[in-house]
Amino acid sequence: MPLLTTQNLHKSHGSRTLFTGASFGIEEGEKVGFIGPNGAGKSTLFRIIAGLEPLDQGTIAIRRGATVGYLAQEPEFPAGSTIRTAVSGGRPGMNEAFAEYQAVAAQLAAGEGDSARLVARQSESMTRIEDLGGWTWQHEVETILTQLGLPGWDRPVEGLSGGELKRVALARVLLDAPDLLLLDEPTNHLDADTTLWLEDRLLEYAGAVMLVTHDRYFLDRVVTRMIEVNPDEFLTFDGGYTEYLEQKAERNARLAVESAKRDKLMEQELAWVKRSPAARSGKQKARIKRLSSMRSEAASAIQPVGEVDMRFGPPPRLGRTVLDLKNVRKSFGERVLVNGLTTQLKAGERIGVIGPNGAGKTTLLRMIVGEDAPDEGEVKFGLNTKPAYFDQARSDLDPAVSVYEAVANEEWVEFGGKRVHLRSYLESFLFPTRSQDQRVGSLSGGERNRVLLARLLLQEANLLILDEPTNDLDLTTLQVLESALAEFGGCVLVVTHDRFFLDKVATGLLVFEENGVVHRHEGGYDLYRRLKDQAKAAEAPIAKPKAPAVREPNTERPKAKRLSYKESRELEGMEAAILEAEEARDRFSAILSDPAVYVDTPARVAELRASLAAAEAQVEALYARWAELEAIGSAG
């Protein structure tokens, strides 16, 4: 039998129905991604399967003896826990044995009590730890905490940031290794390198995994199936996020064809009904009934998904230099976060800021907006620069006020060059009138981010400074935000760990490295990662062949190969060639994402897919050739 089977699931919150009549199953070892808009019920579904929330109707069957582990969006731990005890919390007997061992060791070190009895107690606790596999377990705990970038294992959890709490909870649930792992937004607050580590860990994970995430690269690499959460059914798509898009486009195209046929039949039926032949009243009633049924089918055939209306108005005119950083340095104690950063932000640039957790990315933004002062150096805005700041901590959101009060203190606002009523504006951000008086403190993380974005769009700014704006947003809202930022007429400086987002939005990167060093890189995340990997490969030591036993006399040492004139010219044009090849790849990808292609020209689909595959191969070949030429140039 499957590891998990669900049938006819019904769940409501008050008068709002999350899902009704939904069913799905999970096989052993499967990796399944769940997607859907904020508020669709994904987190609620995971809580139900984890046994933390009741189901209204339906059945959930988990294979006998199977264990379930759950990672919440906002994890909580018992008061008094340290990082170490919180991670080990799945094995309370282990924690007790270690606590006993440490207490006895402390007494022995202090010379307290009967030493013979204390040594006997210590021996008993050591035996108990060995029986539980504790010494190996302790090593595993410390290894995973190191991999997740969590130092100070005896720190209390009460002082940890939200991101650190998430990583503690992630370490705990991975170490427990349940048969079914439920991960709700596991990549939130993880830097790109840690996200890659988690991808590798889940690919090797023997159990089944259900996960909710907005990280599209993560979905593409990890999951083998996608489930779209809708109110009346859960739609299943084989493969990762890219395959989901293709299959969803094909499905929508089929539905569009069926809808067009229904519309035509409905027009015929309506014309017949309007003629109202008195002699055929019985038939007329039947056809009116049929028309009503067709209208109901048409209404439910394609359910419109709520989409945020996110449009930036024309920004104030920018000068040539928007932001100027000169030799900026910032440290806390002996720890240097930013060390001598000098860079400029020019008109039209959109710069992503990336680096490990705690590297200093948020501190840099706070220095730019004036909430922190640099120890050395200068932060200077251009003459016409008007910044607006999105704070990932949401510190200026008052949980006691309503959504309506949090966004603006005026009844009418300017949006997209028009004067609109605030309530209408909030509806465009998926806050219907009935929820606009809801307190901010009761909103989900994604809803609170939408409040901040709604407020941001009302500011007359030409420089957007955004700290983790993508956290907790659903995929549809993410796509709208990406499009809005790409079309924004001003400049953007954004901290985010979302690699897909960076590739769609960023024209360049500020990369935080060790000891406060920050490098400027032109292009998106994928190009940065490729070049970084190629540089590592070029620097890796090459195994030298063993010297021959007998060496011929007068043998000259071969000269290092240098780039020929032709190769030098090829290297100079390589970046332009790659950009051209990537544009061709993106064109084919965009065409295949259009549902109309599958309806209007279905015979072209196979040809287009072949062209896309060829374009992708060309891009890969160009990158490989670039690395080869760079290696020759470096050696010469």
226 Cβ contact partners less than 8 Å away, ≥ 6 residues apart: 32, 33, 34, 35, 219, 236, 237, 238, 239, 240, 241, 243, 244
Identify the three-state secondary structure at position 346.
strand
Q: How confident is the model at residue 306 (pLDDT cuts 50, 70, 90)?
A: low
pLDDT on residue 53: 93
Q: How confident is the model at residue 351 (pLDDT cuts 50, 70, 90)?
A: very high
Closest by Cα among 443, 439, 316, 287 to 385: 316
Q: How confident is the model at residue 479 (pLDDT cuts 50, 70, 90)?
A: confident
Return mean pLDDT, the chain: 82
Query: Does 192 or 595 have the greater pLDDT score?
Result: 192
- Cα distance between residue 33 and residue 297, in whole Å: 29
- Cα distance between residue 202 and residue 272, in whole Å: 60
Determine contact, residues 137/116, Cβ cutoff 8 Å.
Answer: no
pLDDT on residue 557: 47
Query: Does 223 or 107 have the greater pLDDT score?
Result: 223
Determine contact, residues 482/496, Cβ cutoff 8 Å.
Answer: no
Task: Report the percentage of the chain scoring pLDDT > 70.
Answer: 84
Q: DSSP readout, 459-478? A: S--SEEEEESTTTT--HHHH
- Cα distance between residue 54 and residue 596, in whole Å: 43
pLDDT digits (tens, 9 = 90+) for 559-576: 556 767 677 777 778 777
Residue 612 belongs to what H/E stretch? Answer: helix 605-635
**Helix, strand, coil share (%) of the chain residues, nearest 5:** 50, 20, 30
pLDDT digits (tens, 9 = 90+) for 71-102: 998 888 888 888 988 887 766 666 677 677 77
pLDDT score of 32 more than 50: yes
Region 613-618: mean pLDDT is 78
- Cα distance between residue 243 and residue 249, in whole Å: 10
Count CB atoms within 10 A of the CB of residue 606. Answer: 9
Determine contact, residues 525/506, Cβ cutoff 8 Å.
Answer: yes
Task: Report the percentage of the chain scoring pLDDT > 90.
Answer: 29
Query: Does 399 or 623 have the greater pLDDT score?
Result: 399
Give the tokens for residue 541. 């030591």
Region 435-439: mean pLDDT is 86
Count CB atoms within 10 A of the CB of residue 227. Answer: 22
Q: How confident is the model at residue 303 (pLDDT cuts 50, 70, 90)?
A: very low
Pairing of strands 16-26, 31-35: unpaired
Least confident of 143-147, 289-293, 365-369, 496-500: 289-293
pLDDT on residue 300: 45
Closest by Cα among 73, 69, 74 to 90: 69
Region 204-208: mean pLDDT is 94
Region 520-544: mean pLDDT is 78
Query: Does 354 or 112 have the greater pLDDT score?
Result: 354
pLDDT score of 225 more than 90: yes
Identify the three-state secondary structure at position 35.
strand
Region 101-109: mean pLDDT is 78
Region 238-264: mean pLDDT is 83
pLDDT digits (tens, 9 = 90+) for 34-69: 998 877 889 999 999 999 999 999 999 999 999 999
327 Cβ contact partners less than 8 Å away, ≥ 6 residues apart: 340, 341, 342, 376, 377, 378
Determine contact, residues 352/505, Cβ cutoff 8 Å.
Answer: yes
Region 512-530: mean pLDDT is 89
Q: What 8-state DSSP symbol labels residue 392?
A: T
| Torsion sign over Cα 216, 219, 220, 221 | positive
Query: End-to-end CA distance of the chain, in Å?
Result: 62
pLDDT on residue 240: 92
CA-angle at 45, arms to 43 and 49, nearest 5°? 115
CA-angle at 441, arms to 436 and 444, nearest 5°? 80
Closest by Cα among 247, 220, 224 to 235: 247
The alpha-helical segments, DSSP class H, found in 458-573 are 475-487, 499-505, 525-539, 565-572
pLDDT score of 411 more than 80: yes
- What would you report as the CA-atom Rg of the chain, rounded to the nearest whole angstrom? 30
| Torsion sign over Cα 466, 468, 469, 470 | positive
Determine contact, residues 149/357, Cβ cutoff 8 Å.
Answer: yes
pLDDT on residue 386: 92
pLDDT score of 543 more than 60: no
